[in-house]
Amino acid sequence: METINFLFDGFSVAFTVQNITLALIGCFLGTVFGALPGLGPANGVAILIPISFSLGLDAASSMILLTSVYYGAMYGGRISSILINIPGDEPALMTTLDGYPMTLKGRAGEALTLTGIASFFGSIVATIGLMILAPQLVKIALLFGPAEYSALFVMAFATLGGVSSNNKAKTILASALGLAISTIGIDGQTGVPRLSFGNVHFYDGIDFLVVIVGMFAVSEIFIFIENKDIDAKKKKKNIIITTIIPKFKVIVKTFPSMVRGSLLGFFAGILPGAGASLGSFIAYTFEKKISNKDDTFGKGDERGVTAPEAGNNAAAGGALVPMLSLGVPGSGTTAVLLAMLMTMNITPGPLLFKNNPDVVWGLIAALFFANFILLILNIPMVRMFTRILLLPPKYLMPIVAMISFVGIYGISGSSFDLLLMIFFGLFGWLLRKLNIPLVPVIMGAILGNLMETNLRRALTISDGNWMYLFESKVTIIIWLITIIGFVLPLIFGKKITSEIEKFKKKKS
């Protein structure tokens, strides 16, 4: 009951003309930032911080503006994933796997609407979760120490096999490449630079946004240059936005995947350091595990887009939990939001809900409101955004190139990163030619470092005793899921499928 009262107080903070206008602007800009490859939620939020300062906004209004951009970008990221096979931001990576095949089948409109609904559902679940559980959820985050994180990331890697390609060897090779990329830079556990060749630019490691934009956007440009004649004809024929409203049957079919995706995503989101990418990743791989009975995943299955989209939006909301309640950002964007709160003289942490209820509840109320705006922006009005991305490739590709360069330069102000991006573009082009999937490379680059540091933290704490990784209940549960869900099928999978085949033959 108390929660409801707080929420109503929150709505009274959020529903001023100024705050509603800010939420509208934020949602629109966020969707645009999300849809443009290379620009993500973190850029969007960072760009708007100085603006909110110079407008002289108070803490609640600034947070409303910035989180609207954040949520908006989470919606927007899917648009370019689905339409042009380039993820708009990194959590939208998994949406390319089934989203683009749907586009090739002429079902782009349906994919966009379904993912719009999934995004809405995921965000709402996360916002409700944030509201009801935030103070308690601190405890769940506290259950996760280095040992638990190590187990979690091993599980994430165990699921990689099922992600994108049918050729396991190529998938393993791809993830190994990603892991190799993640080892570059100063090793935090010893302070020693690795694979840096004495070049200071490598000391902080390679920002995986550079890898993503290089491998997806820049390599796409190379592919386009290579096949410009064939592609131009093919694309024109295929990308038609048909049925905007999917059949009710399809919504019913995908609904369970949205629920699963939202819960998994929210859970991944509240773990500091895991973030939205892990959320959409786990949501996709689990969904594939559960629903891929007819081998439709990767070929344009609706559930292959709804699960990761619900997952990444829920994770975005979930990431606000550790940020507000512990002062620990769960993702890059929340790190920027945290900095913003600190500059406003608001200390996130266990007492935030008590000391600044107007900010917290105003924010939660605004998140609900922003979600409805975004649903409208992203379903009936989605054509507006798709227009931009459906320009003929000869106009679109130069724009993609321009945005990639501006976006990457904007992150660090370093021209070295631009060269690196071009390098990864060429590298991505080569991998595509060899039919090596790109997604495991990126997941390796993103998760590798996290897995390594957590493993080494755990081993430092336990004085090198590996059994520490199997001591707590949480680790045991994660290991069991990993073994039963992903390792055993690898060993017995073939046997069982062949038995089933035999059985089917007998029957017929």
Which parts of 119-158 interact with another protein (CB under 8 A)?
141-147
Interface pick for another protein out of 327, 357, 485, 489 (rule CB under 8 A): 327
Decide: is 198 part of the binding site for another protein (CB under 8 A). yes
Decide: is 279 part of the binding site for another protein (CB under 8 A). no
Q: Are 118 and 254 in contact (CB under 8 A)?
A: yes
According to CB under 8 A, which residues from 16 to 45 bind another protein?
A: 40, 42-43
Q: Are 469 and 458 in contact (CB under 8 A)?
A: yes
Decide: is 457 part of the binding site for another protein (CB under 8 A). yes
Binding mask 348-367 for another protein (x = CB under 8 A): xxxxx---------------
Binding mask 397-436 for another protein (x = CB under 8 A): -------------xxxxx-x--------------------
Decide: is 331 part of the binding site for another protein (CB under 8 A). yes
In the complex, what is the shortest distance from the CB of residue 187 to another protein, in angstroms, rounded to a whole number?
Answer: 8
Nearer to another protein, 18 or 189 (CB): 189
Q: Are 422 and 155 in contact (CB under 8 A)?
A: no
In the complex, what is the shortest distance from the CB of residue 461 to another protein, in angstroms, rounded to a whole number?
Answer: 5
Nearer to another protein, 133 or 290 (CB): 133
The pair of three-digit structure tokens given for residue 175, joined into one six-digit string: 């993830």
Give me the residue label for tokens 């931001």. Answer: 89
3-state secondary structure of 274: coil
In the complex, what is the shortest distance from the CB of residue 276 to another protein, in angstroms, rounded to a whole number?
Answer: 9
* Residues in Cβ contact with 342 at an 8 Å cutoff, skipping those fewer than 6 apart: 348
Decide: is 336 part of the binding site for another protein (CB under 8 A). yes
Integer CA distances (angstroms), 231 to 82, 393, 394, 422, in order: 17, 8, 10, 22
The pair of three-digit structure tokens given for residue 167, joined into one six-digit string: 């050729």
Nearer to another protein, 167 or 415 (CB): 415
Distance CA 319, CA 275 (A): 6
Decide: is 106 part of the binding site for another protein (CB under 8 A). no
Q: Which of 334, 336, 312, 311 is nearest to 324 (CA)?
A: 334
Strands 192-194 and 185-187: antiparallel
Decide: is 51 part of the binding site for another protein (CB under 8 A). yes
Question: Considering only 7-15, 28-36, 47-55, 260-268, which stretch makes contact with another protein by CB under 8 A?
Answer: 47-55
Decide: is 189 part of the binding site for another protein (CB under 8 A). yes
Nearer to another protein, 54 or 508 (CB): 54
Decide: is 186 part of the binding site for another protein (CB under 8 A). yes
Q: Are 443 and 175 in contact (CB under 8 A)?
A: yes
The pair of three-digit structure tokens given for residue 275, joined into one six-digit string: 């973030």
Nearer to another protein, 112 or 211 (CB): 211
Distance CA 164, CA 304 (A): 11
Question: Considering only 164-172, 347-355, 365-373, 492-500, which stretch makes contact with another protein by CB under 8 A?
Answer: 347-355
Distance CA 31, CA 218 (A): 22
Distance CA 309, CA 327 (A): 26
